[in-house]
Each structure stands twice: as structure tokens, then as C-alpha cells.
Chains A and B, each alone.
Chain A
Amino acid sequence: MITIKKRLLVFTSLFTGMLASLSSCVTVKEYQKNKLNDAEMSLSSRKIEKTELNFQSYREGASGANGGKTGGGCGCN
């Protein structure tokens, strides 16, 4: 069984790797944004995740910072 610490370590390593490429930050022109403009590259949560985000905000103590609900509607069952 993978421990919580190990899972966090794996994800932290992935993030660190991606953050490392921040050093290569360059200005990207509009005509170079074809990959960035792909529907699946959107920086917001996707439409199809709508109900998932709702049930997670009801079933978990933490919520917010993901475009999901922070209030309104009971969802108390």
C-alpha cells in the first residue's frame, strides 16, 4: 500500500519538474498559441467536471480554489 507521504512525494516531484521549466519563460505570440488554445489545455475546470466538483465540495471538508462551489445550495444529504 502506497503511503500518503509517498503519493505526495511523487506529485511534488512532478510539480517541481514542471516548475523548473518556468526558467524558460518566453513571450508567446498569438500565432504560436495553437496548443495552448486547445480545449483540453484550459486553465479552468471543465464543464464535464461540474457535478464531480459539487459532490466533492459536499462530501469533503475542504473546498474552493477550483472553480467549484463555495456556497449556495445545501447538498446536505
Chain B
Amino acid sequence: MKKICLTIVGIYIGLLAAFSQASSSTDTSYKSRKLKFEEANFVGSYYQQDGNHAAVTGGIGSQKLNDFSTSFDLKLSKYDRHKRKHIFTAEIGIDHYTSASSDKIDPTTISSASYADTRFYPSLGWSRENEEKGVTIGAGLYTSTEYDYQSFGANINFAKKTSNRNGEFSAKLQGYFDQLKLIYPKELRPNSGGGGGSGDDDDDDDSYGSASRNTFSGTLAWSQIINKNLQLLLEGELVYQDGYLSLPFHRVYFDDNSVHIENLPSKRLKIPVAIRLNYFLGDRFIIRSWYRFYKDDWNIQSNTIQLETSVKINPFLSVTPFYRFYQQTAADYFAAFKVHTAADTYYTSNYDLSTFNSSFYGAGIRLSPPKGVFSIQHLNALEIRYGHYQRNIDFNSNIISLHLKFK
């Protein structure tokens, strides 16, 4: 009888233990085995610019450009048996532009092959977070293809949270390996004889040489929660580039009226450091501020400041006006149209490398109702943003973007 009682108690305890174990482990293993949809994002933009300093025509001429860009990304997650969270991301982007200055690479044609181009850029990412230890590691792959440019990139990253989960250190290493076709201005092509060669538009793949460009960057960042309303991010980056850093279709006119292809050093070291401070003021205002100092060994020095304020009209609707001010000094190798001399080793008339300042301002509106935008349950948020960019040197642009978030 004693044996039977002990056996029954033993079986009961065994079952109970097995059941309670199964309960908790089932919960964990359920998470680990099932790939969960986290979110998907669509971003579409229309960008239009105009100016009068095109680098293709030596620092003079139209910079008119229109660009449509779209990207779609997908984020999935799953837990493994060690309770670590894996995040998988995939993104596809497509840009299509038309450019007035690119059309001047070969002015002998009515509309050359370079007048328009499409860039296709898919990427994949993975990260694994140990929520218990606050450690995240990750890696990513990237490629970009356009008519005259091919790029492959890879990155690895690491992040560790502080024990109180109020601070986080992160590090990232990136490498990009690019190949570009050497499409020179028509009159400067080796076989053109200075007079346009065959006279036909012979823009085929085999007729161009190629060059490589490599970019390596290392980023260190520290984010810190200051209090319930304020957090900051400190970020520093070291970027090293080598290879062909000029662009083959940028003309430079010397003071003696001769025309040359842009020639820039084959190495460049860039150091940007930035601080971001976000503050939730009361219940309705979010102030986002950002400052960056930048310096490189081509002697460009720059300061950028950005301030935007999200005003929450209600918990699901916000309006965000923003302002960004940018200022830079010129690269040592920049000079305007017909200013360079034959004594210059390096030369460019690309006004993106000149002294200028710019203002970028506009506003965005964001909708995120609890039942979904337009009552579409999975359409979690919709955001539209417009910005106008104005330089002090005869250049302006406009951009309008749409972001749809599905969850």
C-alpha cells in the first residue's frame, strides 16, 4: 500500500514537474522555432535639383537632376534555444535619375546613354541579441549596381548595454569595394582624336577601362539615457578611402583654355564626430538635435547642425518642422572655371568640394493610429516629409518622401 501511495505521489510529482517544465520551455521553444514578422517599411522619394555649377562642364552649366528612389525592407526575428534573439533584415532599393549635366559627357549626341541611369541596391543583415547579457553582434552584406558603377560592401557590428540598461556602447566596421567604368568626356577619350572619333555614340561596355575605389570605415558610438525625458548619442567615425577618387567625366578648364579630366589624390581620410540629443518636453513636444564636426586630409572642415521638433497634436498624429544648417571650407584642390593652372598637381571644379553653406528646412507629418492608418490594420504608420535645400552659391533642391510602416 505504501509502495502504491509513494508510486502515485511520485508519478504525480513527476507529471507536475514535467508539465511545469513543458509549460515554460514550450513558451521559449515556441519563440525559438517560429520566425516572426517584425515590420516592413516602404520609403519612396522624389528629389529634384537645379544649379549652375555642373562639374561635368567644368564648374559651369546646368545641374538639373530628377531622381525617383524607392526602397522596401523586411525585418524578421526568432529566438534560439539559448533565448537569444535573431533579427534578419532584407532590403531592396531602386533609384532612377535623369541628369542634364551627365548628358554633356558626350555633347555630340542629342541625348547620350548617361542622360539617365538606374541604380539597384539590395542588402542583407543579421544580428543576434543576448537580452540577458545585453550583447548584440551582427553582420551585413550590400551591393549596388548602376551603368558605370558597381559596389560590394560588408559590415560587422557589436553592441553592449550597461548593467542598468541605460547606456550602450557600439562599434561597427564597414568595407566597400567599388569598380567604376572610366567614361571620359567625349573629346578627351583616347581614341577620339580630339574630334569625336567615329562620330557615333559608342557607349558600349567594352570601350571603357575601369578603376577601383575602396572605402573602409570604423564607427564607435555611446548612447546614454540621462533621465525619463532625455537621451544622447555620441558617435565618431574614421573613414579611409583609396583608389580612383576622381570622377572620369568631370572636366576641368585651366587658365590657358585647355581642358583636362579631374585629378584628385588617391587617398582620403575623413573624421566626422557627432552628438545627438533627444528631449521629450512635456507631453507634446519632442526636440531632436544633432551636431557634427567633420575634417579630412583634403582640408575640408565642416560643421552641421540640425534641429527638429515633433509636435504631437494627439498621441497618433504629429507634425515635425525641421531646420539644418551646413557649412564647409573648400578642398585644397578646388578652383573655379579656368582658374587652375598647369602647375597644379591635383585639380577639380566640382562645387561640392568648394566653400559654401546651406540651409535645409521643411516639415513632416506622421500618422500612427492604434487601429492602423486608414483602418488598415497592418499599416502601422504613415509619414510624409518635404524639404527645401538652398546653398549660398546658386544651387537649390527639393525633396519629398513617403514612409509606410507595416507591422
Known contacts: A61-B353, A74-B148. The answer to whether A36 contacts B327 by CB under 8 A is no
Give the chain B neighbours of A58 by CB distance below 8 A. 352
Q: Is the CB of B151 within 8 A of A41?
A: no
Give the chain B neighbours of A24 by CB distance below 8 A. 226-227
Give the chain B neighbours of A22 by CB distance below 8 A. 226, 232
At the interface, yes or no: B331 with Cβ under 8 Å from chain A?
yes
Q: Which of B166, B280, B326 contacts A35 (CB 8 A)?
A: B280
How many positions in chain B have a CB within 8 Å of any CB in the partner chain?
105
Give the chain B neighbours of A50 by CB distance below 8 A. 43, 45, 71, 401
Q: Is the CB of B277 within 8 A of A15?
A: yes
Give the chain A neighbours of B326 by CB distance below 8 A. 56, 60, 62
Mostly helix, strand, loop or mixed at chain B's interface? strand
How many positions in chain A have a CB within 8 Å of any CB in the partner chain?
52
Q: Is the CB of B223 within 8 A of A11?
A: no
Q: Is the CB of A51 within 8 A of B401?
A: yes
- Smallest distance from the beta carbon of A77 to chain B beta carbons, Å? 4
Q: Which of A19, A25, A27, A64 contacts B237 (CB 8 A)?
A: A64
A/B interface sample: 21 pairs, CB < 8 A: A8-B303, A25-B226, A25-B227, A28-B227, A35-B228, A36-B280, A47-B403, A48-B401, A50-B401, A51-B47, A65-B235, A66-B290, A66-B292, A70-B237, A70-B270, A71-B151, A71-B176, A71-B241, A72-B142, A74-B146, A76-B247
Residues in A lying within 8 Å of B, measured CB to CB? 4, 7-8, 11, 14-15, 18-19, 21-22, 24-28, 30, 32-33, 35-36, 38-43, 46-52, 54-56, 58-66, 70-74, 76-77
